[in-house]
Amino acid sequence: MPGQPIQVPPNCELTLGMRCTDKSRPGRTVWTMAADERFANPVGIVQGGFLGAMADSAMGSATITFASAGGRKVVAANVEMKTSFLAPARVGSELTCTATVVSGGRRVAFAEAEVVDDNGVTVARASSTYLLTPRGEEPPPTKE
């Protein structure tokens, strides 16, 4: 809702147990998350949706640091995302996601992310486009 305070960290990051370990460079963030058994699929590896959620949170926060470096306070809304799963994410491993804005302007930012396990194996890569809206501004109308 416009005018509502933004909860930091948001519930999605609290639920996943994500922790930001580096946001020192505008347009880049690094996050960690334990590959908890609660996120396992029937085969016993982390279900891909959780890896996608990790990448989305990391890329979204990278877009916020990108905009903040230009003196803007924005909300970043994911408008599309592609995630490729490259190797199994083992339950019990520590996952690290590095997200970077590779291109951006005043209204749109394009970000990429890589998720690696504690052995340095890339388990997923993602890319996404984010719509940047000034905080407090009404979101664009939706079609009904």
Q: What is the pLDDT along the chain (144 residues), one digit of tens a residue?
A: 455 555 566 667 777 788 999 999 999 999 999 999 999 999 999 999 999 999 999 999 999 999 998 888 999 999 999 999 999 999 999 999 999 999 999 999 999 999 999 999 999 999 999 999 998 765 556 666
140 within a domain of the structure (yes/no) = no
Residue 136 contacts residue 74 (beta carbons within 8 Å): no
**Number of structural domains the chain divides into:** 1
For the entire predicted model, the pTM comes to 0.87
Give the structural domain span for 82.
Answer: 11-134
Residue 32 contacts residue 17 (beta carbons within 8 Å): no
70 within a domain of the structure (yes/no) = yes
Order the strands of the 28-34 sheet from edge to edge: 19-22, 28-34, 94-104, 108-116, 122-134, 74-85
The enclosing domain of 92 has a CATH number of 3.10.129.10
Of 82, 89, 83, the C-alpha closest to 123 is 89
5 within a domain of the structure (yes/no) = no
141 within a domain of the structure (yes/no) = no
